[in-house]
Amino acid sequence: MSLDSLVKLVVTVAVIEMMVTVGLGVAVADVMAVVRNGRLLTRAALANYVCVPAATAVLLMIFGAHPMVAAGFLVLAVCPGAPFGPPMAVLAGGNEALSVGWMTILAVTSAVIAPASLYLLLPWVAGTQAMTVDAVYRMMGTLIGIQLLPLGVGLGIRHFRPGMADRILGPALRLGKVLNVIAIVLVVAAYYDLLLEVRLKGLMGMLLLLMVSLAAGWFLGGRSVENRKTLALTTSLRNVGVGLVIATDAFGGTPAVTAVLAYGIVGIIGSLLIARSWGLRPVLSIR
């Protein structure tokens, strides 16, 4: 088995396990409470499915990114619902229940919205490297298989067998950490040379995109500071695991995978620093 094939296999298994674990820790009531707040849910969707992909496309054109690099950034831009959102929200003094609800809903809806968004945006920034309709359907099937169905399994166990969910949640979390470490090591090993090619200009572009993503979530988060913090972090954090699965499947062996990994690292570290800062120095309420 080639290293690229091993990377794809391990990352896929890690994402499936992660989504089952997410479902095990989520109460259906929390998700439904978020669904009932239609106005705030619409703002979250606008921030994650319109603002971030649009800002990414504009910045990629401004920076004149290589088509494969652009494809990688767009893959991550259309994949919200990162499982790091709730713990980051807690660290920042945000609304954990709201973050859990948004994370779950975004993870579910991205199975359909992400492929459609890539189909529309790739021609603008990647020229002839646009996705075909068949590729869109294949990507949709991949997302349903590795994200939607495992999440549904976890949610089902939590809802119908809460005692069982409590017993296996701890081991599942520990297994997820091990799988994520193995996946990251393999991805870095496979794309180490490409990662070294990231230049200061690229890093500045990633930091700018992170700031724009945070700002979009903050200004669309409503009047509550807790909600603003929560949506800002939900929006800045993209689902790196799912992005890597898509990138290795559609653009394996290219800088697209490197772009997903590089921006994923920047997004997680940057969001962590912001969350820590907000937690230590509370933001004044907005009246």
One-letter amino acid for residue 89 of the chain: A
Domains of the chain (ranges; CATH) run: 3-280 (1.20.1530.20)
Q: Would you list the DSSP string of 154-218?
A: HHHHHHH-HHHHHHHHHHHHHHHHHHHHHHHHHHHHHSHHHHTT--HHHHHHHHHHHHHHHHHHH
d(CA 141, CA 115): 10
pLDDT tens-place string over residues 215-245: 999 999 988 999 999 999 999 999 998 898 8
Q: What pLDDT is attached to residue 287? A: 41
Kindly indicate the confidence band of residue 153, based on its pLDDT and cuts at 50, 70 and 90: very high
Does pLDDT of 129 surpass 70?
no
d(CA 51, CA 53): 6
Give the pLDDT confidence score for residue 5 in this predicted structure: 80
Mean pLDDT of the chain: 87
Closest residue by Cα to residue 201 from 262, 129, 121, 269 = 262
Of the candidates 97, 81, 55, 42, the residue with the CA atom closest to the CA atom of residue 227: 97
CA distance 13 to 179: 8
Task: Note the pLDDT of residue 127.
Answer: 62
Alpha-carbon torsion 9, 11, 16, 17, what sign? positive
Render pLDDT for 34-69 as a digit per residue (tens, 0 to 9).
888 889 999 999 999 999 999 999 999 898 888 888
Q: How confident is the model at residue 171 (pLDDT cuts 50, 70, 90)?
A: very high
Q: How confident is the model at residue 187 (pLDDT cuts 50, 70, 90)?
A: confident
Average pLDDT over residues 238-260: 87
Q: Please write the tens of the pLDDT for every residue from 101-126.
A: 899 999 889 988 998 888 888 887 76
CB 49 within 8 A of CB 216: no
Average pLDDT on 83-100 reads: 90
* Higher-pLDDT residue of 221, 281: 221
Q: What confidence category does residue 133 fall into, taking pLDDT thresholds of 50, 70 and 90?
A: low
Q: Model's pTM, two decimal places?
A: 0.87
* Residue 286 pLDDT: 43
Helix or strand or coil: residue 274? helix
Alpha-carbon distances of 207 from 6, 50, 61, 125, rounded to whole Å: 30, 19, 16, 19
- As a whole number of angstroms, the distance between CA 270 and CA 272 comes to 5
The winner for highest mean pLDDT among 31-45, 133-147, 182-196, 212-226 is: 212-226
Instruction: Summarize the confidence of residues 237-260 as an average pLDDT.
Output: 87
